[in-house]
Chains A and B, each alone.
Chain A
Amino acid sequence: MTDTLVLSLITGIGVGLSAGYLGSLMVLKKMSLVGDALSHVALPGLAAGILFNFNPFIGAFALLFASAIIIWRLERVTRLSIETIVGALFTLSLAVGILMIPQPDLLEALFGDITTVSLVDTTIALAVSALAIFLTKTAYKNIILGMISEELATSTGVNVAKTELLFLSLVSLTVAIGLKIVGALLVGFLVIVPAATAKNVSSNLFRYSVLSSLFGAISSSSGVLLSDYLKLPPGPLIVLAGIAVFLVAVLVKWASKTPAF
């Protein structure tokens, strides 16, 4: 096993765990496509990093974080849904990003390439993933309570507005690190499919959130290993591995409900 493959695997497992964990909340909040759309918002940030020679992850995160604050504020002021506001922002960012990103780097920005991660990239991805998991765990209860009833949450001392801002910031963080792995076009996968798979086979929150994280890690690591073996791009293979896990979960559930003849 080469050093690059080891780094790719470690990065994939770390990011898969954190994206799966946060994705479990995004799916429950019916924000599955928000992660997907937000990834496009990151493109001008990535482009700035490439053009001005600094880590594109920092550019992507800065833009995503600024967008999270804009979305949070607009949602409170206009009472429009988050999906609507993100929808309005993402096409503009996509257009600007594609115009800014130099042609040779466009493919990697759109589809990612985990096989090119350096030790620094892996260290950043692991540190950010660990931070995202820690903050998500801290806020998990408050976010779920806010989903069940905003009044119930507020009456038990939860600041729903601040919790929402923290949640959007975490989404930005997770999308930013996911960009390196599967790219802007496929990052939605990391937060949607592992959680959807886990939801299919879970009857309580603990099992749901743990399985969602595990399925994220399994998808990412399987995709990286397949990519090394088949010599094909890792991004699409990570997605295909995750979809295979999803289909197995659906079949298992279906089989368990089908009466034996």
Chain B
Amino acid sequence: MGSSVTESRNDYILNVSNLSVKVQDQTILENISFKLRKGTTLAIVGPNGAGKTMLFRALLNLVPYTGEIEWADKVKIGYVPQKLYVSDIPISVKEFLMFKCDSATETEKCITSVELDTKTLLNKGLNVLSGGQLQRVLIAWALIGNPNVLLFDEPTSAVDLDSEETIYEMLNRLERENRITILIITHDIHVVRDYSEYMLALDKRMVFFGESEQISNPSLLQTIYGSGTVLKTRKERG
């Protein structure tokens, strides 16, 4: 019995219990509890102001919180924030990646792993990249140091539909090949359906946590997104 409990605990990379966050006496998150298995993808959904980004900030220990956040031993987290302010900074892709990684070889390896061409891209300015290229550079940034958890805050908010699918397929590949656990904040219910195993719906409190395939349930869809929301096929979206 004891060994099966230990084995079961080892299957999880993250255990969050009764997590609450307040900022200037305002409740941003209240009583959130969930557990996440290693090597799976969790999609975090909810309306604006639901506390999705704050959940990431708490998971990264960037804000004070109450409750418990328990990461598995030897966890290494790669993080990609929602907004970057690069438009006015003359910094090349290589310089940006070298901020996190001392070795040029590792920088090139990370760029190649996100299917970008090192020869043409490394000396380009971050501020001239397309939305899709920038997002992939950020994924490369997150991959430096071989993390086993990746946190993405709306990774495709500034890219077109084709690039969006490529990015999610790449994340799925990383999850499969490297057994990386991925947490993605998204507004897109199709991402939940097509690219994640688990879903956490927030509206300051926890509205739902469970398997992503349940998103097809119309009453759950209505609870999370309001009436009139429908899931379209990929063909209908294009």
Scan residues 43-63 of chain A and give those whose CB is less than 8 A from a CB of chain B. none
**How far apart are B65's CB and chain A's nearest CB, in angstroms?**
15
Q: In the complex where A144-B99, A147-B85, A206-B95 touch, is A154 in contact with B60 (Cβ < 8 A)?
A: yes
Q: Which residue of B lies closest to A209 (CB)?
A: B90
* A256 located at the interface, meaning its Cβ lies under 8 Å from any Cβ of chain B in the complex: no
Interface-centre pick from A199, A202, A204, A208 (highest chain B CB count, 10 A):
A204
Q: In the complex where A151-B79, A151-B81, A152-B81 touch, is A144 in contact with B91 (Cβ < 8 A)?
A: yes
Q: Which residue of B lies closest to A204 (CB)?
A: B92
B interface footprint on A149-167 (CB within 8 Å = 1, 0 otherwise):
1011011100000000000
* B176 located at the interface, meaning its Cβ lies under 8 Å from any Cβ of chain A in the complex: no
* A141 located at the interface, meaning its Cβ lies under 8 Å from any Cβ of chain B in the complex: yes
* B83 located at the interface, meaning its Cβ lies under 8 Å from any Cβ of chain A in the complex: yes
* A89 located at the interface, meaning its Cβ lies under 8 Å from any Cβ of chain B in the complex: no
Q: In the complex where A151-B79, A151-B81, A154-B62 touch, is A144 in contact with B89 (Cβ < 8 A)?
A: yes
By a CB distance below 8 angstroms, the chain A residues around B125 are 203-204
Q: Which residue of A lies closest to B79 (CB)?
A: A155
* B84 located at the interface, meaning its Cβ lies under 8 Å from any Cβ of chain A in the complex: yes
What are the 6 closest A-B residue pairs judged by CB atoms, nearest first? A204-B92, A155-B79, A151-B81, A149-B81, A202-B90, A205-B91
Contact A151 B62 (CB under 8 A): yes
B60's partner among A151, A199, A202 (CB-CB below 8 A) is A151
Q: Which residue of A lies closest to B141 (CB)?
A: A152
**How far apart are B213's CB and chain A's nearest CB, in angstroms?**
31
Bound: A144/B127 CA distance, A: 14
* Interface size in chain B (residues, C-beta < 8 A): 22
By a CB distance below 8 angstroms, the chain A residues around B90 are 199, 202-205, 207-208
A sample of 13 cross-chain residue pairs with beta-carbon separation below 8 angstroms, ordered by A number, consists of A28-B88, A144-B99, A148-B89, A149-B85, A154-B60, A199-B90, A203-B92, A204-B90, A204-B91, A204-B123, A205-B90, A206-B95, A207-B90
Q: Which residue of A lies closest to B99 (CB)?
A: A141
Q: In the complex where A152-B79, A154-B60, A155-B79 touch, is A205 in contact with B84 (Cβ < 8 A)?
A: no
* A145 located at the interface, meaning its Cβ lies under 8 Å from any Cβ of chain B in the complex: yes
* B9 located at the interface, meaning its Cβ lies under 8 Å from any Cβ of chain A in the complex: no
Total contacts A-B at CB 8 Å:
56
* B173 located at the interface, meaning its Cβ lies under 8 Å from any Cβ of chain A in the complex: no
By a CB distance below 8 angstroms, the chain A residues around B77 are 155
B84's partner among A28, A141, A152, A207 (CB-CB below 8 A) is A152
Bound: A207/B95 CA distance, A: 11
Contact A205 B95 (CB under 8 A): yes
Scan residues 1-34 of chain A and give those whose CB is less than 8 A from a CB of chain B. 28, 30
* Interface size in chain A (residues, C-beta < 8 A): 21
Extra 10 A-B pairs, beta carbons < 8 Å, given A30-B88, A152-B84 = A144-B89, A149-B83, A151-B57, A151-B79, A152-B80, A199-B90, A202-B90, A204-B123, A204-B125, A205-B91
By a CB distance below 8 angstroms, the chain A residues around B80 are 152
Bound: A202/B125 CA distance, A: 10
Bound: A28/B95 CA distance, A: 16
**How far apart are A85's CB and chain B's nearest CB, in angstroms?**
20
By a CB distance below 8 angstroms, the chain B residues around A149 are 81, 83-85
**How far apart are B158's CB and chain A's nearest CB, in angstroms?**
14
* B86 located at the interface, meaning its Cβ lies under 8 Å from any Cβ of chain A in the complex: yes
By a CB distance below 8 angstroms, the chain B residues around A206 are 95
Contact B79 A148 (CB under 8 A): no
**How far apart are A150's CB and chain B's nearest CB, in angstroms?**
9
Bound: A156/B61 CA distance, A: 12
By a CB distance below 8 angstroms, the chain B residues around A145 are 99
By a CB distance below 8 angstroms, the chain B residues around A207 are 90
Scan residues 147-166 of chain B and give those whose CB is less than 8 A from a CB of chain A. none
**How far apart are A194's CB and chain B's nearest CB, in angstroms?**
15
A interface footprint on B100-132 (CB within 8 Å = 1, 0 otherwise):
100000000000000000000001010000000
